[in-house]
Structure 1
Amino acid sequence: MTAGSTDADRLAGYALGTTPAEALAWFDSLEAVEPAAMLGRWRGSGLPTGSPLDGLLEAYGWYGKEFLDAETVHPLLFATAAGPRPVDPALVPIGVLRDRPGLAHSRAARLAFRAVRPLVTTTKPRARLRAVEHRGVRTAAMVYDALPIIDVFRRVSDDVRLGLMDLRGLPDPFFFLLRRGS
């Protein structure tokens, strides 16, 4: 993006994709977020950077995330006919997603997930909301209970957040956007 671009310009420009370095530079330029400013339900979408995870969550019907309070966080909401439902991330094969993205992107894997999704839904929170220091800035982060993942957030606007997923074993961060929902 050019010097002087607004965050809205970047958001629009990056919708078609960017590099991991550009996404990280944008992330670093954004304001920190207080954990309380994350409360509510958020609609998610990936920010394409060439990550093996690009488009994966959307292909599986990812809706977003829900932060009820610091101790009650649903890190993975998936769209269903009855509305968004939380899925227990501990039951999602993260290693396959990370190490075999081709398999994870396959039609067979998507169909299998749709078939078992009712069995992996949960009403229990599976993450917590905390303020952490990341890249020298103290900001809101979601810490998964049972997986080596921390999602770190920066403020794009009152109703938009840029997320950076730090997954152990993934060489570059996975970037995503959250838009405040109902």
Structure 2
Amino acid sequence: MSAAPRAGSPEARLAGLAAGAAPEEALALFDALGPVEPAAMIGRWRGSGLPTGSPLDGLLEAYGWYGKEFLDAETVHPLLFTTRSGPRPVDPAFVPMAVLRDRPALAHSRAARAAFRLARPLVTTTRPRARLRTVEHRGVHTAAMVYDALPIIDVFRRVSDDVRLGVMDLRGLDGPFFFVLTREG
């Protein structure tokens, strides 16, 4: 059992937002966190959303999102989903981002989730679908994952050695979408 985070620490601040926060609160925490070197992202990470009122809140989890995997700067699996045989990478090029962004009620529907479960084996891949780079975001140079086929950049800040706060920068999304990554192992 891990110890409770120290009051006022980044971990405690993040824990205080876990049940839901205003986007401004999440951005304030994100801006207060230090940068991440790309090398510090190498490994497999378990993902979870940080609810802030984004239309994407809870969506990845509803579809069985597991997390992300960074093998090196050129070999990144941006979307791992849970399967019976363990986490498997899905090619994000087949994710209907316009539907997720513009029609969240449809994306959250039971029928859409069932269709994805049926299609998931067809969109599983072994090829990397993103790259890891350093970008300047909100005035800080930090690690970011750049998708190969989608207008998305996931930007990371350091909560602790094994926890990252991420924000998805998606062209056309009105506000930020936040998520938390926890290192496996």
Letter in 1 for 2:77: H
Over aligned residue pairs, what C-alpha RMSD do you find? 0.8
After TM superposition, give the deviation of residue 9 of structure 1 in Å. 1.5
Number of paired residues?
179
Letter in 2 for 1:89: P
Deviations 1:93-127 (A, max 9, x none): 01000000000000000000000000000000000
The answer to whether structure 1 residue 154 and structure 2 residue 157 are counterparts is yes
The answer to whether structure 1 residue 51 and structure 2 residue 54 are counterparts is yes
- Partner SS for 1:95: helix
Cα separation, 1, equivalents of 2:109 and 2:16: 28
Paired residues for 1:166-177 under 5 Å: 166-177=169-180
What's 1:38 paired with?
A: 41
- Superposed structure 1 runs of 4+ greater than 2 Å apart: none
- Partner SS for 1:49: coil
Match of 1:145 among 120, 142, 148: 148
Letter in 2 for 1:37: A
Deviations 1:48-76 (A, max 9, x none): 00000000000000000000000000000
- Partner SS for 2:53: coil
Cα separation, 2, equivalents of 1:174 and 1:88: 20
After TM superposition, give the deviation of residue 8 of structure 1 in Å. 1.8
Letter in 2 for 1:131: T
Cα separation, 2, equivalents of 1:5 and 1:108: 43
- Partner SS for 1:28: helix
Match of 1:124 among 106, 122, 127: 127
Cα separation, 2, equivalents of 1:143 and 1:8: 26
Letter in 1 for 2:183: R
After TM superposition, give the deviation of residue 7 of structure 1 in Å. 1.2
**Structure 1 length as normaliser, TM-score?**
0.97
**Structure 1 gaps, min length 5:** none
Cα separation, 2, equivalents of 1:105 and 1:115: 16
